[in-house]
Structure 1
Amino acid sequence: MQKLNFPTYSFRFKSSENKISIFDSIRKKFVILQPEEWVRQHCVQYLMEVKGYPKSLINVEKELIVNGLKKRYDIVIYNSNGSIHLIVECKSPTITVNQNTFDQIAQYNLVLNASYLMVTNGLNHYYCQMDFKNERYQFLKDIPKYSKQSQ
């Protein structure tokens, strides 16, 4: 798989029926290794190892309803009170992150109300903090590290 703009992590792989799978430590199962999954797994490790978010507050690939349509978010990090701290939208490294990507995560956030948004294709990462009062987001250089006080 392609080298991404994340630290190097060790992953567990298995091969069956000519398909490679990667172990997802959050879902506790092997999942087919697609380019977007490669980005998602790196991002999960980054959030735990570099940013310090506890595994227990991370959720991966769950369904939500947006405007009556079934959608799936990539990664959500909860606050300890159950509210949502961060939504992450992962794209394949071959996908250019553009306004459509931000529109997609903004739509998800209409339902989820996260304080922070992250969009990544594994090569480029974008971070935003929500300004709910003015109904917009402000770009950041990075997302904050985990802190029990801010949770």
Structure 2
Amino acid sequence: MEMLNLPPFAYKIKQSGTNSVIFDALRRKYVPLTPEEWVRQHFMHYLTGALRYPRSLISIERGTTYNKLQKRTDMCVYDQRGKPHLLVECKAAHVPITQEVVKQVSVYNQVLQARYVVITNGLEHYCWEVDFESRRFQPLQEIPVFQTLL
């Protein structure tokens, strides 16, 4: 797997038949190790380690419905009341962050209405604060630390 622009962590990888799998501490199971999963696992550990987001408030690949279509969010952090607070879209490191990717996560967030949106491919990370009243995305220089959101 490719080196990412995220802190390293003590991952567990093993072979399952002909495929590699990585242990997901949130889902408490091994999942197929794809390039996107590699980014998701690194980013999840970044959120819980460096930025101190509680694991209990993070959901991975949760289903949502948009225009009667079933969609899955890569990662969503909820506040203490169970409301989506930070939506994360992960792409494989070789996938550029384009306007189409921004549009994809914006569509998901129309349903979820998370205050913050992050898009990462493990090399580049973009974060916006969303103001639903003015319908504007405010780019942020950094992803907020959990304690600053309280």
Q: Could you state the TM-score of these two structures normalised by the residue count of structure 1?
A: 0.96
Residue aligning to 1:150? 149
Residue aligning to 1:59? 59
Distance 1:150 1:62 in 2: 22
| Partner-residue secondary structure (3-state), 2:149 | coil
Question: Structure 2 unaligned runs (5+)?
Answer: none
* Counterpart amino acid of residue 9 in structure 1: F
Residue aligning to 1:137? 137
- Deviation of 1:150 (Å): 3.3
Q: What are the Cα deviations for residues 103-137 of structure 1, in whole angstroms up to 9, with x where unaligned? A: 11111111101000000001000000001111121
Residue aligning to 1:78? 78
| Partner-residue secondary structure (3-state), 1:122 | coil
Residue aligning to 2:40? 40
Q: Let me know the Cα RMSD of the aligned residues.
A: 1.0
* Counterpart amino acid of residue 134 in structure 2: N
Aligned residues: 150
| Partner-residue secondary structure (3-state), 2:146 | coil
Distance 1:109 1:16 in 2: 35
Task: Map 1:83-102 onto structure 2 (within 5 A).
Answer: 83-102=83-102
Q: Could you state the TM-score of these two structures normalised by the residue count of structure 2?
A: 0.97
Residue aligning to 2:106? 106
Distance 1:66 1:82 in 2: 19
The answer to whether residue 5 in structure 2 is matched with residue 5 in structure 1 is: yes
* Counterpart amino acid of residue 124 in structure 2: N
| Partner-residue secondary structure (3-state), 2:62 | strand
Residue aligning to 1:25? 25
Question: Structure 1 unaligned runs (5+)?
Answer: none
* Counterpart amino acid of residue 84 in structure 2: I
